Amino acid sequence: MTARAVRAPAPEVQHPVVGRRGPESSKRLLLADLSAADVGARAEAAVRRGASRLGATVDAAPLRATAEDLARYAQDGRGLTPAAAHDALVRLIAALYSRARDSHGAELDVLAEEDDDPLGIALRGAWGRWRIAAGEAVDLPTLAVLAGIARQNVLAAVNADELKAHAEGRARLVPAGSARAWLEARGVAGFKKSRGS
């Protein structure tokens, strides 16, 4: 008689999105649904893990607060000025890239185009909001994060001439003014028309 391997059922995973459960949910993580506290905890844990692998210790608590501030800024543009958001992005991304490594020793891509990484979504959203505030063009994946829609829907908007985009290398970029107007028309928090404009 041969022993058969018995596979235990996968544990249920709690998504970091308030009110959503793991793999049975077909919905993507949306910037608006992220918990700033969860994003902060993920940033702190990533920096601590990276420092530990390098044999170093680091006080990552201030980075947790920075990540929380950036998550809130990404969601609605409040809490930080664009200049403060830029400084916070530089500080946090530098800490993540210099200390955070995956299990194989490779650096984490904190602005990855994954739809299920709360830290990456929050950082991409904050980066995109800052670029628009600074008058800089943004790429289509960043607009998708800010708008809370799939990248294919942003591409469809470009193809339908709702958004003007230009190619720069392999990326398609939307000028800040067009991005702001499009996000404003969609009612995205922090891009809404102010009274009298």
Reported as a single tens digit per residue, the pLDDT across 36-76 is: 999 999 999 988 887 887 788 888 999 999 999 999 999 99
Pick 53 or 12 by higher pLDDT: 53
Kindly tell me if the per-residue pLDDT of 26 is higher than 90. Answer: no
Q: By C-alpha distance, which of 61, 64, 195, 191 is closest to 133?
A: 191
Assess contact for 92 and 67: CB atoms under 8 A.
Answer: yes
- Cβ of 78: how many Cβ atoms within 10 Å? 9
Q: If 0-12 CB within 10 Å is exposed, 13-18 middle and 19+ buried, where does residue 149 land?
A: middle
Report, as an integer, the average pLDDT of 173-189.
96
CA–CA distance, 118 with 38 (Å, rounded to integer): 8
Kindly tell me if the per-residue pLDDT of 20 is higher than 60. Answer: no
Mean pLDDT of the chain: 80
What does DSSP say about strands 166-168 and 138-139: parallel, antiparallel, or unpaired?
A: unpaired
Q: pTM of this prediction?
A: 0.78
One-letter amino acid identity for 147? Answer: A
Kindly tell me if the per-residue pLDDT of 127 is higher than 60. Answer: yes
Percent of the chain residues topping a pLDDT of 90: 61
Kindly tell me if the per-residue pLDDT of 115 is higher than 70. Answer: no
Q: By C-alpha distance, which of 64, 34, 35 is closest to 47?
A: 64
CA–CA distance, 153 with 162 (Å, rounded to integer): 11
Q: Where in the chain are the domains?
A: 31-185
